Amino acid sequence: MTARVGVVTFPGSLDDGDAARAVRIAGAEPVRLWHGDPELHGVDAVVLPGGFSYGDYLRCGAIARFAPVMETIVDAARGGLPVLGICNGFQILCEAHLLPGALTRNQHLHFRNRDQILRIESAGTAWTNAFQPGQEVLIPVKNGEGCYVADTATLDQLEAEGRVVARYLAGNPNGSQRDIAAITNQAGNVVGIMPHPEHAVEALTGPSQDGLGFFTSVLKHLVGAPA
């Protein structure tokens, strides 16, 4: 049976169509989920896409965190549902307290859009098991508020528990502490990433196809998950 991966659309979402396309290329069935509908319609995993949900008012992700669909996603994620938050989706995951820390204004105060080298630090999550630890990938980054921050105790805990999923190489585009580009929760089913793997799934349109591994990883995870 083909896995069904939900892609949420919020008012102001920008990359939901690209995320759905990446899911399809990976071999799963994308299921469009609406922010105002609390039902997940039987999906096996969820992607929170990039964009500017609710116009980034108050704080990025602060309003989207209270959308009806997020109440269901938070409960399901705590029960083991794989959830990937990309860029604005990462911000929403932090606002929903599914991941620690916060994403703040880039230190240089400029929007940054470029192809970015990352090093995969953890291949033990539902979204990165297709990679090898230490593998370098090339994925676009585009953000104005992508600077990951947390208190020292939280950063040390992420490091000690192997929950830093990816780091920036060849230059930090936003000033994120300890060059953190992606993190995961303790269970490894929830991952937030600031760069955009959905923009690196086809040779025609991306700088590489390195991003596809995030989407094929969750399919591999679902095959091995208990029924």
Residue 15 contacts residue 2 (beta carbons within 8 Å): no
Residue 177, amino acid: Q
Q: Which residues contact 197 (CB under 8 A, 6 or more apart)?
A: 22, 86, 139, 210, 211, 212, 213, 214, 215
Tokens of 140: 């676009």
Distance CA 77, CA 68 (A): 15
Q: Which residues are catalytic, by number?
A: 87, 196, 198
Report helix, strand and coil shares of the chain as percent, to nearest 5: 30, 25, 45
Q: Which residues contact 142 (CB under 8 A, 6 or more apart)?
A: 50, 87, 111, 112, 113, 114, 196
Residue 169, amino acid: L
Distance CA 147, CA 194 (A): 9
